[in-house]
Amino acid sequence: MFSVTGKSPQTVVTGFTLIELLIVFSLLATLTAILAPLLLPSPTRTLHAAASDVATTLRETRRHAQADQARRRFMIDTETRQYGIQGHASSRALPDDVKVELTTGKSLIVDESRGGIDFFPDGSSTGGRVTLWMAERSLKVDIEWLTGRIRVQENEP
């Protein structure tokens, strides 16, 4: 048996309210405004990443010299923008827009565009500087001769 009451069955409404949608869209807009500059390429980030990679390769060259107890040379070609550890098969390349200049001892210059910086088993080096620039900004990677310490710094105009 069925009974009939005078009430209509309740209908269930599903979905989101306007306020919930506005909150979600405002959160998405805020996140986009914060993250977009971080994810888009910029000359400053590209230059800093390139300088950091050069400094890492220099430190790796120094570590190899100490571990192998032998002289090791960091080589760079300013024309092709290729660099790496001499005698190792892998070389790295700077981004296309990054220009490079090497300051080193005269005996370490191979030709017009190639030269190097030597590291010794005690951690010292011949010293020098790799200067990178892009879009009117420049960074210098300095290598101290006595300690072999490698530093990345902003280049003063």
**Residue at 22 is within a domain:** no
Check residue 68 and give its pLDDT: 95
pLDDT for residue 3 is more than 60:
no
Query: For residues 16-51, b (16+ Cβ closer than 10 Å) or e, as one string?
Result: eeeeeeeeeeeeeeeeeeeeeeeeeeeeeebbbebb
**Residue at 28 is within a domain:** no
**Residue at 31 is within a domain:** no
Q: What is the mean pLDDT of residues 145-153?
A: 95
Query: For residues 90-99, b (16+ Cβ closer than 10 Å) or e, as one string?
Result: eeeebeeebe
Query: What's the length of the chain?
Result: 157
In the chain, how many domains are there? 1
Average pLDDT score over the chain: 90
**Residue at 63 is within a domain:** yes
**Residue at 6 is within a domain:** no
Closest CA to 147 of 120, 115, 121, 125: 125
What span, in angstroms and rounded, lies between the C-alpha atoms of 53 and 34? 26
Segment 69-112, tens digit of pLDDT: 999 999 999 999 999 999 887 899 999 999 999 999 999 999 99
Q: What is the mean pLDDT of residues 108-132?
A: 96
| CATH number reported for the structural domain that contains residue 110 in this entry | 3.55.40.10
**Residue at 131 is within a domain:** yes
**Residue at 133 is within a domain:** yes
pLDDT for residue 45 is more than 70:
yes
Residues 6+ apart with CB under 8 A from 24: none
Q: What is the mean pLDDT of residues 114-137?
A: 95
pLDDT for residue 9 is more than 70:
no
**Residue at 14 is within a domain:** no
Structural domain of 121: 43-154
